[in-house]
Chains A and B, each alone.
Chain A
Amino acid sequence: MTRISPHLGPMLVVALITLALYWPLMYLANIPAAQRALDTGAALPCKTAFECATQLRSPVLPSPQQLWNGFRNLMFPLNSQSAIPLNALVTALETIVGLLLAALVGFFFAIGMVASRAFERSLLPWIVASQTVPIIAIAPMLVVVLGQYGVQGWLPKAIIAAYIAFFPIAIGVAKGLKSPDPLSLDLMKTYNASNWQTYLKLRFPASIPYLFTAFKVAMTAALIGAIVAEISTISFQGIGKMLAENSRASDVVAMWVIMLSSAVLGILLVALVNWLERLLTPWQRVRTAATPLPKQARVSERGGAG
């Protein structure tokens, strides 16, 4: 929390400015549409274009009132199949399972790349190439293929999420495994440490900060993967399924609400990684503190000589 607080003020200022600009922008965008609706004689509960701008069925930009009502409609009841909470939970689970799968595969590739140059040279170009295939093109095919093996429901979405999330993890972890300096590797050699011990005591711990940085990138990628997978395949649950449904129904307000909710979901998932990072890498905490050296340390330095 302390790390966020210095940004809180400026962030609020930006939020207020955005809100202040939103109203005029919303009118500017909606008035022509409202005028057209009035001209065609649609049954509207308003008389002037200005009035109607905040009440359009499919506004260009929804009014804050419409957004608020949209939220109230889509948030409750919490366990409803058509409400956001349950669907967001499904998408979140797909994303997290996808990330864990990606971590598994990413670690495997990372170790391969660090342990063997031949592995790196022969496979890295293919890994890079795999990431250039648009996920939206792969997703339906994967779901059909996996379906033939009885893999259905949320799992194919998690696999698709993993497909785009493993790349940043593999690259990040490989970088982390290579991060120990030559002297530290020499040190392990003077202990006659085995290869496995060098990984366990030096390379793995050294890669943890890199792993978390990669997780933050991979988490957002996995969320996109999960949502795209839900949209582009037959889904019965999830944020993507809600987006697809409301898109077909042209419910602009609902789509705005779902979009903002998925943004919040993304933020929460990244915050989860941040929290885990702080929990698991205590040595990095308060790194930025102004006085890293405790008082007694300086005294002892002087009196240390025997």
Chain B
Amino acid sequence: MMQSNTPNTHLPSSSLEVRPIVSVRQVSMIFQTGTVALKNANLEIAQGEFISLIGPSGCGKTTLLRLLADLIKPTSGTIQIGGKNPEEARKSRAYGYVFQAPTLMEWRTVLSNVMLPLEVMNFPASERKARAEKMLTLVGLEKFARHYPWQLSGGMQQRVSIARALAFDPQLLFMDEPFGALDEITRENLNLELLRLWRETGKTIIFVTHSIPEAVFLSTRIVVMTPRPGKIETVIPVDLPQPRTFETRELPEFFQIATEVREALRRGHGYEVTE
């Protein structure tokens, strides 16, 4: 049930007009403190895309993701997820969310952690274990099912949390700087693994990062965001060939797009971005 088996080829921009799975119209978010976290954001995302939100701290990228996930409500504007408002989408379990930290429950084994959403969502007991085991296999951690989270490295813990987010087969995967706390080598490995997951599952992924190479490597489109007030500066399509490999990072186009992103950030005074 988890594979919708739509192989992700690169999506031509014309497919956007078909029926966006995520649609953001004139969305603003002003916090009680008066901070304008997001101003007049507009964005449409098609089924099967891999979208990165990039920008420095305070540009509203996490805010936008939290708005999509209905963890906060916008001050103004409308958001639609698969034709529903964010609250309905959350209640119909349309998305899985991966946080900056793995947020695994230390009293649960790895397998039991992946089963958590299935328990909350009242999946039949017989189905939970099978699904969780399948997800662990998908992220390559089936041998660690009986381990406790603290027995795993940071990268492995984050893989468990990805398996957990996919366990109930949501259409969308929201990822908020999931690899931000990991070292460069682990991060590059996980990037490759994430792309494999994306191809195999056909999910639509929205990925927050403040690493330019990571955004270029992963995405079909990059949403460049800049701070004070948080806004979408521009959206840059990434026309790199699929499937991407370690060699993708050495292509001249890779550097061209990275430069384009960097310049867009500079235009919006978002140059404090880390790489």
- Chain A: residues with CB nearer than 8 A to chain B? 181, 183-184, 186-193, 197, 201-202, 205-206, 208, 281, 283, 287, 292-294, 296-298, 300-302, 304-306
Contacts and interface: CB of A to CB of B under 8 A. Distances in A.
Nearest first, the 4 closest Cβ-Cβ pairs linking A and B are A306-B196, A305-B189, A305-B192, A191-B120
Interface stretch (B31-39, B103-111, B225-233, B254-262): B103-111
A3 to B, nearest CB: 18
Contacts of A305: 188-190, 192-193, 196
Nearest to B164: A187
7 contacts: A186-B71, A186-B97, A281-B107, A297-B152, A304-B155, A304-B190, A304-B193
B151 A293 contact: yes
A197 B120 contact: yes
B147 interface: yes
B137 to A, nearest CB: 12
A202 B107 contact: no
Contacts of A188: 120
Given A293-B153, A298-B153, A302-B189, A201 B103 contact: no
B63 to A, nearest CB: 13
Contacts, number: 97
Nearest to A194: B120
A281 B196 CA distance: 37
B96 to A, nearest CB: 7
Contacts of B144: 297, 300
Contacts of A202: 105
Most buried by B among A192, A193, A197, A208: A192
A79 B152 CA distance: 53
B90 A183 contact: no
A293 B152 contact: yes
A208 B119 CA distance: 20
B150 A192 contact: no
B186 interface: yes
Given A184-B103, A189-B71, A283-B148, A304 B120 contact: no
Contacts of A283: 106-108, 148, 150
| Size category, B interface | 35 or more
B273 interface: no
B71 A297 contact: no
Contacts of A302: 189
B91 A192 contact: yes
Contacts of B106: 283
In terms of DSSP, what is the predominant structure of the interface of chain A?
A: helix
B192 A306 contact: yes
B120 A208 contact: no
Contacts of B105: 184, 201-202, 205-206
Contacts of A193: 120
Given A190-B95, A298-B153, 12 more contacts: A183-B100, A183-B101, A186-B99, A187-B103, A189-B90, A190-B69, A192-B90, A205-B105, A297-B153, A304-B156, A305-B193, A306-B193
B99 A297 contact: no
Most buried by A among B69, B91, B107, B155: B107
A191 B143 contact: no
Interface in B60-79: 69, 71
Contacts of B107: 205-206, 208, 281, 283
Contacts of B99: 183, 186-187
Contact of A191 (B117, B153, B155): B117
Given A190-B97, A193-B120, A283-B107, A294 B192 contact: no
Interface in B83-133: 90-91, 93, 95-97, 99-101, 103, 105-108, 116-117, 119-121
Contact of A201 (B71, B101, B119, B148): B119
Nearest to B152: A297
Interface string B133-166: 0000001110110011011110110010000000
A292 B151 contact: yes
Nearest to A296: B143
A187 B148 CA distance: 19
Contact of B186 (A287, A301, A306): A301
B152 A190 contact: no
B153 A301 contact: yes
Nearest to A280: B107
Contacts of B141: 300
A161 B88 CA distance: 51
B174 to A, nearest CB: 8
Contacts of B150: 283, 287, 292
A95 B110 CA distance: 38
A190 B96 contact: yes
Contacts of A206: 105, 107
B103 A304 contact: no
A183 B143 contact: no
B190 A294 contact: no
Contacts of A294: 147, 151
